[in-house]
Each structure stands twice: as structure tokens, then as C-alpha cells.
Amino acid sequence: MRDILQTERLVLRQLELRDAKAFSEYGTDIDVARMTGSFPHPFPLLAAEFKVMDLLAQKRRGLAQPYAITLKDGADDMIGVVDLFKRGTDTLWEIGYWVGRPFWGQGFMTEACAAILAEANESLGADDRLAGVFIDNPASARVLEKLGFERSGTPEFYFSMARLKKAASQNFVLRASP
């Protein structure tokens, strides 16, 4: 996949260790952290650095394609992340994402996800894509539905580090066009 993806309002660039500060700052917001499976709460800088290094290690193994989301007309500061990842070498690519609270409700996530999915189809081949959202996060479900994902199966329970317990999650699938 290309190192930089551009949309009308965003630049998606390769994630870097310097992004750990924004990870920590935005991820410490409990309303951001609790909607992810992997953010602890609070989210200290050291944990954020580890998270970035882990994502980069997964990228080197061919199991992740993490991008920092930045504003096209602003600084190069990360406002969120969009990532394609695989749970194993023989599994489908899944999409995961988050954006800092100041950027909620502006359509940035739909725009970023559309860009990474288009790039994935071009670079990795058209295939089904997976996603999951906690059921108490209807905004994230709307993002997926706008992108053409459909609910798949019944809700399951998935662990959330910030909640320190499992929470109901809905799986989604985006079917590849024949």
C-alpha cells in the first residue's frame, strides 16, 4: 500500500513513533478509549509508545497497515488512526479506527476509511473486509453502514481495556464486488 493517501480534507500517512503523544492525549479521553478494544484508561505516553511500536511491528510482519490521519490544510499532527489488520496470515483484513473528540461528527472517519478501503482493493486485491464495533457506539456503526458494510451475525462480547471487561460488539462485513 502507498505510504501517503490523500482525500479532499485529509492526509493519511504512515504512523510514526512521534504520534504516540497524540495517541496518549486523545486516547486518555474515556469516551475515545472505551470504544476501542486496546486502549487502556488512562493512556500514559509510555503505553502509547508501546502501542505505536506494536502497530509498526505488525506492519513489518505484513499483518497491519496503520495510517495516522492528519488534516490536509493543517499541521502534520495526528487526529486519529485508521488501520487495516489481520488476526493471522490466513484471515481477512479488518478495519479499525478512532479519532480524537475535537474531530467527531465532521465525517473525517468515513472519508479516511473510504480512502484506506479503496487503496486496499487496489494494492491487496478486492476481498471481503471485516469490522466490529461496540454496540453502544452507534456513530461508528453508521460509519461502517455508509461505507457499505452490513451487520453480520449476532452481537458477541469483546474485551475493552478501558472498560476492564467484555462489552457487546456487533460484527460487520463488506462483501467484495464480484
Confidence band, pLDDT 50/70/90 cuts, at residue 108: very high
When pLDDT is averaged across residues 110-126 and rounded to a whole number, the result is: 96
Query: How far is the C-alpha of 2 from the C-alpha of 95, rounded, in Å?
Result: 17
Query: How far is the C-alpha of 134 from the C-alpha of 137, rounded, in Å?
Result: 6
Question: Three cell numbers at 109?
Answer: 472517519
Predicted pLDDT of residue 178: 66
Query: How far is the C-alpha of 155 from the C-alpha of 44, rounded, in Å?
Result: 31
At position 109, the amino acid (one-letter code) is M
List, in sequence order, the alpha helices (H) in 11-137.
Answer: 20-27, 30-33, 45-60, 108-123
Confidence band, pLDDT 50/70/90 cuts, at residue 130: very high
The domains of the chain are located at: 4-174
pLDDT by residue (tens digit) across 8-25?
A: 999 999 999 999 999 999
Give the H/E segment covering residue 133: strand 129-134
Predicted pLDDT of residue 74: 75
* Coil, helix or strand at residue 12: strand
The CATH code for residues 4-174 is 3.40.630.30
Q: What is the pTM of this model?
A: 0.96
User: Over the chain, what is the mean pLDDT?
Assistant: 96
pLDDT by residue (tens digit) across 136-149?
A: 999 999 999 999 99
- H helix and E strand count, the chain: 5, 8
